[in-house]
Amino acid sequence: MTAMLAACEDPQTRDVKARLVGTWFAESQEHGGVARRALTLEAGGHLKESVRIIAPNGASDLESREGEWFFDGVNLKRKYTYVDGQPLTNAHFIYDTHELRSVTASELVAVSNVGRGELRLKREQGGVRP
């Protein structure tokens, strides 16, 4: 079925999807501390994401999520089905959609469709996180 759907996609969408695959990183200020995010988009549509929040006093908390991702030609869509290794029920899946603005070899930029702001991630270069 996946092969049939891929055959229906236009070449530009397939190209963008291929460029999205990989591990992306971001660091931002959140809740008075620093948030470090790692997002891995796999070729088969699986995703893994971890976010570490480091408080000003040095304490940290890590949340991990897993699920599925999809690119429809305009939007990068993520559906999280696991949080910290625990499965979510259908009623509690977490959905996140961002309109893709650009994706290069080193940067992904997208804007939230529900006012959550801009998503700006950097690609891991040579095994070193940005």
Domain coordinates in residue numbering, the chain: 2-95
Tokens representing 39? 């997002």
Q: Is 11 left (phi over 0), alpha (psi -120 to 50) or beta?
A: alpha
Report residue 8's pLDDT band, with 50, 70 and 90 as the boundaries.
Answer: confident
Give me the CATH topology for the region 2-95. Lipocalin (2.40.128)
Q: What is the per-residue pLDDT for 7?
A: 57
- DSSP annotation of 125 reads B
For the chain, the average pLDDT equals 89
Q: Tell me: the pLDDT tens digits for 79-126?
A: 999 999 999 998 899 999 999 999 999 999 999 978 778 999 999 765
Amino acid letter, 92: H
Q: What is the per-residue pLDDT for 126?
A: 56
Q: Is the pLDDT of residue 56 over 50?
A: yes
| Residue 77 host element (H or E) | strand 75-83
Check if the beta carbon of residue 56 is closer than 8 Å to that of residue 39: no
pTM of the model: 0.86
